[in-house]
Amino acid sequence: MKYRIWYSTESFADYIINNTALKKKNFVKKKMYESDANNARSFHTMPDHIKKILYLDAPDLIVEIDHEPIFSVEVSTEAGTGHNVFQRFARLAASVENNVPSFYIYPEAVIITRKNTAPRWDRINPLIFKALDDVMSIYKIPSLFYYFPTDFRTQTIAAEAPNLLQKGLQYDPNRNYAGSPLGTDEEMIAMFKSMNEIVEVVEKHGVIQGREKLLSRRPIIDRRAFMNQEFVRKGGTLSTSPLSAVEKIPTAYLLNHLSQYENKHYQVGELLRSRKETIVYKVNAKFRGDPYPGALAAIDYLVCREGKTFEERKYNLIMAWGKLTVDDANKTLQLSSTKSTINDFIHSVQASENKNILSKSYAEIAHQEIPRYYMQVRYGSTYSKVKHIRVFSYFADAILFPDGALWRDA
pLDDT digits (tens, 9 = 90+) for 16-68: 999 999 999 999 999 999 888 888 889 999 999 999 899 888 999 999 999 99
pLDDT at residue 279 in the model: 98
CA 306: distance to chain centroid? Answer: 18
Residue 381 confidence (pLDDT) above 90: no
Residue-wise pLDDT for 315-332, tens only, equals 999 999 999 999 999 999
**Is the peptide bond prior to 291 cis by the omega test (within 30 degrees of 0)?**
yes
116 pLDDT higher than 90? no
Name the least confident of 6-15, 101-110, 375-384: 375-384
The pLDDT of residue 1: 83
Q: Tell me what pLDDT residue 283 has.
A: 96
pLDDT for res 165: 95
Order across the sheet with 102-107: list the strands. Answer: 27-31, 3-7, 61-65, 68-75, 102-107, 143-148
Question: 171-200: per-residue pLDDT in tens?
Answer: 999 999 999 999 999 999 999 999 999 999
CA distance to 20, 47, 244, per residue, from 40 (Å): 33, 15, 38
**pLDDT tier at 393, thresholds 50, 70, 90:** very high
Section 374-383 average pLDDT = 90
Q: Is the dihedral of CA 134, 139, 140, 143 positive or negative?
A: negative
Would you say 343 and 330 are in contact if contact means Cβ atoms under 8 Å apart? no
Please give the pLDDT value at position 330.
95
Burial class (CB in 10 A: 0-12, 13-18, 19+), 378: exposed
Residue 352 has pLDDT above 90, yes or no: no
Give the pLDDT confidence score for residue 222 in this predicted structure: 96
Q: Which residues contact 360 (CB under 8 A, 6 or more apart)?
A: 373
Per-residue model confidence (pLDDT) at position 57: 85
| pLDDT on residue 39 | 87
pLDDT at residue 37 in the model: 85
Instruction: Report the candidate in 154, 120, 49, 135 with the shortest Cα–Cα distance to residue 89.
Output: 135
Report how far residue 279's alpha carbon sits from residue 359's, in angstroms, rounded to the nearest whole number: 38
Distance, in Å, from the CA atom of 59 to the CA atom of 75, rounded to the nearest integer, reads 8
Cα–Cα dist 77/263, whole Å: 51
Q: Name which of 63, 16, 65, 21 is nearest 180 in CA terms.
A: 16
Q: What is the pLDDT of residue 56?
A: 87
Dihedral, 221, 225, 226, 232 alpha carbons, nearest 10: 170
* pLDDT score at 38: 85
Strand-pairing partners, residue 334, are 325
pLDDT, position 120? 95
Instruction: Report the pLDDT value the prediction gives residue 69, as an integer from 0 to 100.
Output: 96
What percent of the chain clears pLDDT 70, i.e. is strictly above it? 100
Measured N-to-C along each axis, helices 342-352 and 387-395 cross at an angle, to the nearest 10 degrees, of 120
**pLDDT tens track for 216-263:** 999 999 999 999 999 999 999 999 999 999 999 999 999 999 999 999
pLDDT band at 142 (very low <50, low <70, confident <90, very high): very high
| pLDDT surpasses 90 at 152 | yes
CA distances from 139 to 205, 211, 295, 296, 364 (A): 19, 11, 19, 18, 45
Residues 331, 323: Cα–Cα separation, whole Å: 17
> Region 358-368: what's the mean pLDDT?
93
**How confident is the model over 66-71, as a mean pLDDT?**
95
